[in-house]
Amino acid sequence: MAGLVIANWKMHGSLELIAEFSKEWRALPRLTDVNAVLCPPAPYLASVSGALEGVALGAQNCADRIEGAFTGEVSVQMLSDLGCGYVIIGHSERRALYNETDAQVAVKAQLAIAQGLQAVVCVGETLAHRDADQQDKVVTEQLLRSLAEVPCENLVVAYEPVWAIGTGRTATPAQAEAMHGVIRECLQGHFGEAGAGIPVIYGGSVKPENAGVLFECDNIDGALVGGASLNANSFWQIASAASAGRA
Ligand code: PGA
């Protein structure tokens, strides 16, 4: 499968940054063998839609309801209307800061997939879990609860160890590869053979400097990139490394 590299801008950016990013992106060579996705904050989805050649559009979150009186929420139908092909679901920041539960994550993923979006379901252990050597159990259980009644078509799993997000502390390629193997096994146990085709991407302080070694790992199909995705050149370098890693 082609590598998948997703830019998660979180609550960063502005119209000015979008203009600057697009200009820089246009000057860079077009990449092959990689699916690049940009997830700006929701108010900027329409501005990014179609602005970046070769880059798909994604959202950072969606509502767990179809429509109705849910002030401030954005539905999967609205994301689709704006041209989104992807939506990040259950990012650890949403789980930790907005108390999003595995059950909500599963409902969001069901709705997103039913809408034809690629649901990027995030899982990952905390440092306390890792220090207690509980990571495999914690991530497997979180994954299975987050995938309750979720079909495997249009599903992407992002492994993001919480201790590696925004900390500059990346999981070593060996740590990431080991967990991706555990996730892959869990997906195959859950979905059968179809589980083998689900992309499993890594997130947590991915930078141009460390992307290459991560993408050399057999079970790492791409990356979810936060900080380093705010700069077109560094995001391009990471996408380019993913393209080379799949060659
Ligand atoms: P980071 O964020 O690359 O800044 O660590 C990754 C993420 O939270 O998706």
Q: Token pair for residue 224?
A: 């979810």
Q: Which of 160, 167, 209, 235 to mutate to test the pocket of ligand 1 (most atoms within 8 A of CB)?
A: 160
Give yes or no for a contact between 174 and 219, defined as CB atoms under 8 angstroms apart: no
Domain boundaries, the chain: 3-246
pLDDT at 161: 96
Q: Which CATH class is domain 3-246?
A: alpha beta
Extended strands (E) in the chain = 3-8, 34-39, 55-59, 84-89, 118-123, 155-159, 200-203, 222-225
Find the 25 Cα to ligand 1 centroid distance in Å.
Answer: 20
Which residue puts its alpha carbon closest to atom 3 of ligand 1? Answer: 226
Annotated catalytic, 129? no
Question: Average pLDDT in the 169-181 region?
Answer: 93
pLDDT at 1: 81
Find the 201 Cα to ligand 1 centroid distance in Å.
Answer: 12
Q: Kindly tell me if the per-residue pLDDT of 13 is higher than 70.
A: yes
Question: To the nearest whole percent, how much of the chain has pLDDT over 90?
Answer: 92
Which residue puts its alpha carbon closest to atom 9 of ligand 1? Answer: 226
pLDDT at 166: 82
Residue 139 pLDDT level (bands cut at 50, 70, 90): very high
Q: Kindly tell me if the per-residue pLDDT of 51 is higher than 90.
A: no
Find the 229 Cα to ligand 1 centroid distance in Å.
Answer: 9
Q: Kindly tell me if the per-residue pLDDT of 247 is higher than 80.
A: no
Question: Average pLDDT in the 48-60 region?
Answer: 93
Find the 193 Cα to ligand 1 centroid distance in Å.
Answer: 30
Question: To the nearest whole percent, how much of the chain has pLDDT over 70?
Answer: 99
For residue 138, what is the enclosing H or E element? helix 135-146
Cβ-in-10-Å burial (0-12, 13-18, 19+) of 71 comes to exposed
Q: What is the pLDDT of residues 63-95, one digit of tens each?
A: 999 999 999 999 999 999 999 999 999 999 999
pLDDT at 244: 84
Atom of ligand 1 nearest to the CA of 164: 5
Choose, from 93, 100, 160, 177, the residue flagged as catalytic: 160
Which residue puts its alpha carbon closest to atom 6 of ligand 1? Answer: 226
pLDDT at 68: 98
CB atoms within 10 A of CB 194: 14
Question: Average pLDDT in the 149-163 region?
Answer: 96
Residue 170 pLDDT level (bands cut at 50, 70, 90): confident
Residue 246 pLDDT level (bands cut at 50, 70, 90): low
CA atoms within 13 A on the CB side of 175: 17
Q: What is the rounded average pLDDT for all residues in the chain?
A: 96
Q: Residues with beta carbon inside 6 Å of ligand 1? A: 8, 160, 165-166, 203-206, 224-228
Question: Average pLDDT in the 159-174 region?
Answer: 90
Q: What is the pLDDT of residues 185-229, one digit of tens each?
A: 999 999 999 999 999 999 999 999 999 999 999 999 999 999 999
Which residue puts its alpha carbon closest to atom 2 of ligand 1? Answer: 226
Annotated catalytic, 160? yes
Give yes or no for a contact between 228 and 5, defined as CB atoms under 8 angstroms apart: no
Find the 37 Cα to ligand 1 centroid distance in Å.
Answer: 14
pTM greater than 0.85 (yes/no): yes
